[in-house]
Structure 1
């Protein structure tokens, strides 16, 4: 097969990989150069295109445009919903900062262009380090390459995708909130007990100014419990990665069923 005949197939593979790298964890960060994203997608496409054997020859006609749109949808969905679960650690940090008083001390993140809570950002950095330590980026690349077996390059999405896809999306959002609550519950529960103790102290010693004493006490309790909680956080991260891989597999089954 000549190079010109492989060009339409290569473009479809390149579109899916590029859309995946734009929205997937780690690669979506602004600190990753755009040339690295599309360059990585380009060279991986060169390796993959020779292994894909479509059932029929792909021509660059009006149908090819629809196939490109389908590849864009598949790549964006695989990357976005995988990255959505990592937002759980930032959401947990927001819950913690809201209870500890750090919610007022937000910082501007130039990578995302938004204001972020301190604890949420700290959790996200630790989560990305844990993700890299277990070769999570290799797992995602293997997953997106396996998507060509589940979702053929020249096949259309099945009719039952919309209903099942909505159910999977709701399940991923549910898991995101559940994992965020699981991460935040030890620190938030401890700070709630500190609030109760300060309330009792305010009734017994009304001369004490709790607005001056209470905030430093809550901050100290926040850092102590955070230090103790870190080993548990890594255990929860393992659960998070397992949920991410399971959701990735379910999405492949739904889009390729």
Structure 2
């Protein structure tokens, strides 16, 4: 889970730090609740291997569910960047190690700050502790993983990312249509020479306006992801 989480699992955090944090968290969980962490003495090596695989899958899924929150806003920022003509203006995303359009980088930075402000990381740790009570380590049953709910959350990521970017996309589309009509009516004016600048101004104005709604949008996406996270371990 620590490798898949969007904040501590990034390239900015050294592997040794993740390892130390994982060991410390493991020690705390073992000290807090040992009733669900005891394996039978006659556990075979193959059963032990399957138990480790099951627990690793649970941790990866938990980290990926939280990743979907951030990827929703990154995708929205990428759509807005492409519509504004800023697709060529990319920055290296330190969390994913890839080039991301500048608006997408802005959105993911704000999403990171909002998630830490809302104590989302503490919620994930609480879910991790509860997962051992809901799915004890001696319970070798892969059917407990409700993968279909994780897949449904992926479709929610695309639809909600488009929903966040929709105001800017529609506004820029209307602006481009207006430029096309003016160019058709008066070709000698060469309106498209000003089109790029006005499109940028309109895009930045829409981003400024939409940022005031980002907290509510982030809360909705987080609640959806956290609900799925709880459902994965029930």
TM (norm. structure 2) is 0.92
After superposition, the C-alpha distances for 1:203-246 in whole angstroms (9 at most, x for unaligned) are 22212334421000000011111111111122101111111111
Could you tell me how far 1:150 is from its partner in structure 2?
1.2
1:57 equivalent in structure 2 = 40
Q: Which moved more, 1:30-39 or 1:238-247?
A: 30-39
- The alignment yields a C-alpha RMSD, in angstroms, of 1.8
Unaligned runs of 5+ in 2: none
Stretches of structure 1 that go unaligned for 5 or more consecutive residues are: 1-19
Alignment partners' CA distance in 1, 2:120 and 2:74: 18
Change (3 A) 1:115 1:70: same
* 1:1-257 correspondence runs (5 A): 20-50=1-31, 51-54=33-36, 56-57=39-40, 61-159=45-143, 161=145, 164-165=146-147, 167-253=148-234
Provide TM-score, normalisation by structure 1.
Answer: 0.84
Relative to structure 1, the CA distance from residue 213 to residue 178 in structure 2 (aligned partners, 3 Å threshold; closer, same or farther) is same
Q: Is the 8 A contact 1:85 1:172 kept in 2?
A: no
How many residues were matched structurally? 231
Partner of 1:7: none
